[in-house]
Amino acid sequence: MRVQLRLRSAKLAATATVTALLLAGCGGSEEESGARGGPEKKTITVAGLPLADVAALHIAIDRGLFEKEGLNVRVQPVQQSVQALPALAHGQVDVIGGANFVTFLQAREKGTLATRVLAEGARNAPHMMAVLVPSDSKIKGPRDLKGKKIAVNILNNIQSLTLNAVLGRAGAGLPEYRQVPFPQMGSVLERGQVDAVHAAEPFVTALKRELKARTVVDGNAAPTAGLPLSGYVTTDTFIDKYPKSAAAFRRAITAAQAVAAKDRGAVEKALPGYTKIKPAEAAAIGLPDYPATSSAAQLKRLISLMRAQKLLTKDLDPAAVLYQPAK
């Protein structure tokens, strides 16, 4: 494996280490404001993933959109959104950026954590997720994936959910999934420990560049095109305790999402700062769609797909999941 992917892997800690750092380093010092009309809590800690999904978070910071709302936003890098769940539950992290919706919808249904979507972050789009294989692999298309070992970032989650749907529509058999964090996918693919990886940007571009990996399935194929993937998730407790802070965060992120949706250059400028991707590479990667507004109808698509694959046991009301500030 080449140096760059090794460096990425070395910089990202294991789940237990990341969770410990979040719990140890994020709480206790946030300033609460008593100013009339301002946010109750000025300092917001966001656990952020190194994915294109959270470009709006960094655009909002760089352009001072949070400051305009009276907020100071700190980003705590995390490898998987599920790693930040304990910190979110303990109030040591206020928001998870790039939060995988499957994980948090399941947590809400099970009652393990009452989560709420402050704003959508990313929807599926062409080339932003892909199933990749080595250049010399005999796998040529969806039907060749039956029974093959495929790496996904988290088991029984958004990647397997979407790929199962795509393969089902294509009349193809299902693979066997192996959990491998995004930064380690290149090494396991190179060593032949898996037959393919289902990666997201910017890792798709890095794997193509460094391993000459090739795409056999675009993750945006039917019936998952435009599906909501991730967003900015908090808890009911946070919203109830700090309603003005929640509303201020949502306004800033919504403004940044609108920038990301219209200005690819702004996204390309933000990516190297938190993904370590080079500026020239940022211009080439497949980006998700950045919805400027959250949609209950679109989230319902995801909930229905989860129900069909038994990742949820009952229907959830998407309107109840999506945060709406009091008027």
Two structure tokens written together for 33: 């404001």
Domain presence at residue 23: no
Instruction: Measure the CA–CA gap between 97 and 117, rounded to whole angstroms.
Output: 10
Cβ 213 vs Cβ 135: under 8 Å: yes
Q: What is the DSSP string of 170-233?
A: TTPPP-EEEE--GGGHHHHHHTTSSSEEEEETTHHHHHHHHH--EEEEETT-TT-TT-EEEEEE
Is 5 a residue whose pLDDT tops 60?
no
Two structure tokens written together for 262: 């219209």
Task: Judge if 262 and 314 occupy the same domain.
Answer: yes
Task: Judge if 166 and 307 occupy the same domain.
Answer: no
Task: Judge if 120 and 264 occupy the same domain.
Answer: yes
Across residues 254-281, what is the average pLDDT?
94
Per residue in 179-236, pLDDT (tens digit) is: 999 999 999 999 999 999 999 988 999 999 999 999 999 999 999 999 999 999 999 9
Domain presence at residue 30: no
Task: Specify the pLDDT at position 26.
Answer: 46
Task: Judge if 212 and 75 occupy the same domain.
Answer: no
Instruction: Measure the CA–CA gap between 308 and 228, rounded to whole angstroms.
Output: 16
Per residue in 268-285, pLDDT (tens digit) is: 999 999 987 888 889 989
Per DSSP bridges, beta strands 196-200 and 129-133 are antiparallel
Is 2 a residue whose pLDDT tops 60?
no
Residue where a domain terminates, one of 192, 218, 244: 218
Task: Specify the pLDDT at position 313.
Answer: 95
The enclosing H or E element of 75 equals strand 72-77
Of 82 and 2, the one with more pLDDT: 82
Instruction: Measure the CA–CA gap between 327 and 324, rounded to whole angstroms.
Output: 9
Q: Specify the number of domains making up the chain.
A: 2
Is 25 a residue whose pLDDT tops 80?
no
Give the Cβ contact number of residue 104 at 10 Å: 25
Residue where a domain terminates, one of 153, 184, 218: 218
Task: Judge if 233 and 268 occupy the same domain.
Answer: yes
Task: Specify the pLDDT at position 83.
Answer: 86
What percent of the chain clears pLDDT 70, i.e. is strictly above it?
89
Task: Judge if 107 and 189 occupy the same domain.
Answer: no
Instruction: Show the domain range for 61.
Output: 43-125+226-321
Domain presence at residue 152: yes
Task: Judge if 232 and 150 occupy the same domain.
Answer: no
Task: Judge if 257 and 119 occupy the same domain.
Answer: yes
Task: Judge if 47 and 190 occupy the same domain.
Answer: no
Per residue in 93-147, pLDDT (tens digit) is: 999 999 999 999 999 999 889 999 999 999 999 999 999 999 999 999 999 999 9
Task: Judge if 114 and 240 occupy the same domain.
Answer: yes
Across residues 169-174, what is the average pLDDT?
95
What percent of the chain clears pLDDT 90, i.e. is strictly above it?
77
Task: Judge if 230 and 315 occupy the same domain.
Answer: yes
| CB under 8 A, 24+ apart: contacts of 3-7 | 4/206, 4/210, 4/276, 5/183, 5/186, 5/187, 5/206, 5/207, 5/210, 6/187, 7/276
Task: Specify the pLDDT at position 18.
Answer: 42
The pTM of the whole model exceeds 0.75: yes
Domain presence at residue 34: no
Confidence of residue 21 (pLDDT cuts 50, 70, 90): very low
Is 79 a residue whose pLDDT tops 70?
yes
Residue where a domain terminates, one of 180, 198, 218: 218
Task: Specify the pLDDT at position 36.
Answer: 53
Domain presence at residue 17: no
Domain presence at residue 205: yes
Per residue in 38-62, pLDDT (tens digit) is: 999 999 999 999 989 999 999 999 9
Domain presence at residue 36: no
Domain presence at residue 188: yes
Task: Judge if 231 and 316 occupy the same domain.
Answer: yes
Two structure tokens written together for 285: 């990667």
Task: Specify the pLDDT at position 82.
Answer: 84
Q: How far is CA 2 from the centre of its chain?
A: 25
Average pLDDT, the chain: 89
| CATH number of the domain encompassing residue 288 | 3.40.190.10
